[in-house]
Amino acid sequence: MSLQAMTAILNKIKEYDRIVIFRHKRPDGDAVGSSLGLRGILRATYPQKEISVINCDHTDFVAFLGEEDGPQPDEYFREALGIVVDTGTPARISNPQYALCRELIKLDHHIPIETYGDLQWVEEERSSCCEMIATFYNTFRDELVLTKEAATCIYTGMVTDSGRFRFREVSPDTLRAAATLLETGIDLETLYAQLYMKDFEVFKFRAHVYEQMQITENGVAYLYVDDATKERFGLSHEQASASVSYLENIRGSLIWLAFIEAEGEIRVRLRSRFVTVSELAERYGGGGHACAAGAFVRDKDEMNKLIAEADALLKDYKETHEGWL
Ligand code: AMP
């Protein structure tokens, strides 16, 4: 099944002289890594083709991986093949010009809520979209060229989206794909320093989060970051959003949530161990993976409702399961 989809994608890539790669809004390491990594492979393999990554928002999170390409007028897209990576639903695609492309490919690892594009390769059991790009390269490695720079992008997406190869989706195939990337000589020491080093103020913010965090009766840990707090610590939206991971290892807490104010909305990041939270996210206009999802709430009332639903979900889980630590 996946070989068929990969072959169809490679054939489409060969057909087009212009290819534009898109990713989701507010990108994470996987979205940036898979788009820049795929661009790197295609540019190195087909130097005569025009390959670009064109999106409408910017992130500093993994800026060390390189720059995307600048904006283009609508006409540019009409002759192009579009490839959307790491994006489950069309509403989440960063650049609405994706819709102008002559043909469109969806290449993704999210639970498919809504399909789009002329050709899809979706494997929700993959630990990252970058793992799929690495597998794509591996499958056609006699034809495709992988540079160290492209491999670094793809490896970064793999390690960030799999929690450093910790999450349950990590399989023997994941590590085989990662091994292929390492063969190019990726500088892991520099890469991990880039991922772990934070500004001094971020550590102050972390202390603030630990002071403020709350936990429900059944163990849902949560935090709220308003605009004033972001300003006080000089945080970008990405830095504030990363705080969800601070709640990750509280004993007895199998669900943890971060509510982050952003442009008049409250963005929710849901994380869990064992318990599925994607359906809860879907009830609040979001989605994602079983144990890592996102959504939005309008106000504090809706936030409290979501917390209460998460608490009931966790109560039920604990009552009906064993071995959850
Ligand atoms: P995040 O908290 O942004 O890292 O999101 C966790 C996962 O859920 C990622 O795979 C996202 O792509 C997905 N996700 C986040 N927000 C949404 C949303 N509003 N709708 C659908 N999927 C989402």
Q: Is 109 in the pocket of ligand 1 (CB under 6 A)?
A: no
The number of the ligand 1 atom at minimal distance from the alpha carbon of 161 is 10
Nearest CA to ligand 1 atom 19: 286
pLDDT, average across residues 31-49 = 98
Give 120-166 as a DSSP string.
EEE-TTSS-HHHHHHHHHHHTTTT----HHHHHHHHHHHHHHTTTTT
Residue 272: closest CA among 289, 296, 287? 289
Nearest CA to ligand 1 atom 1: 294
Contacts of 248 (CB under 8 A, 6+ apart): 256, 271
The rounded Å distance from CA 300 to ligand 1 centre is: 20
- CATH numbers and ranges of domains, the chain: 2-195 (3.90.1640.10), 200-320 (3.10.310.30)
pTM: 0.90
Q: Is 291 in the pocket of ligand 1 (CB under 6 A)?
A: no
Contacts of 255 (CB under 8 A, 6+ apart): 219, 220, 221, 270, 271, 272, 275, 277, 310, 313, 314
pLDDT of residue 309: 98
Residue 89: closest CA among 281, 310, 291? 281
Contacts of 235 (CB under 8 A, 6+ apart): 201, 202, 205, 229
Q: What is the pLDDT of residues 220-233, one digit of tens each?
A: 999 999 999 999 99
Confidence of residue 122 (pLDDT cuts 50, 70, 90): very high
pLDDT of residue 293: 97
Other C-beta atoms lying within 10 Å of the C-beta of residue 196: 7
Q: What is the pLDDT of residues 68-116, one digit of tens each?
A: 999 999 999 999 999 999 999 999 999 999 999 999 999 999 999 889 9
pLDDT of residue 61: 81
Place of tokens 């997406």: 157
Residue 257 burial (CB < 10 Å; 0-12/13-18/19+)?
Answer: buried
Which of 57-61, 85-89, 199-203 shows the lowest per-residue confidence on average (mean pLDDT)? Answer: 57-61
Tell me: pLDDT of 59 over 90: no
pLDDT, average across residues 226-249 = 95
263 vs 269, residue with greater confidence: 269
Task: Evaluate whether 277 touches 291 at the Cβ level (below 8 Å).
Answer: yes
**Residue 294: strand pairing partners:** 269, 287
Q: Is 110 in the pocket of ligand 1 (CB under 6 A)?
A: yes
Task: Evaluate whether 246 touches 208 at the Cβ level (below 8 Å).
Answer: no
Contacts of 58 (CB under 8 A, 6+ apart): 68
Task: Evaluate whether 214 touches 223 at the Cβ level (below 8 Å).
Answer: yes
pLDDT of residue 263: 85
pLDDT of residue 147: 98
| CA-based torsion, 224, 161, 273, 201: positive or negative | negative
Place of tokens 């489409």: 12
The number of the ligand 1 atom at minimal distance from the alpha carbon of 89 is 21
Reading the block at residue 231, the tokens are 């300003």
- Whole-angstrom distance, CA of residue 293 vs CA of residue 271: 7
CA distances from 82 to 38, 43, 77, 297 (A): 12, 15, 8, 32
Nearest CA to ligand 1 atom 21: 287
pLDDT, average across residues 151-177 = 97
pLDDT, average across residues 127-144 = 98
Q: Is 289 in the pocket of ligand 1 (CB under 6 A)?
A: yes
pLDDT of residue 109: 97
Q: Is 267 in the pocket of ligand 1 (CB under 6 A)?
A: no
Residue 6: closest CA among 38, 47, 43? 38
Place of tokens 């996987």: 30
The rounded Å distance from CA 191 to ligand 1 centre is: 24
∠ CA(170), CA(171), CA(176), 5° rounding?
110
- Whole-angstrom distance, CA of residue 239 vs CA of residue 259: 13
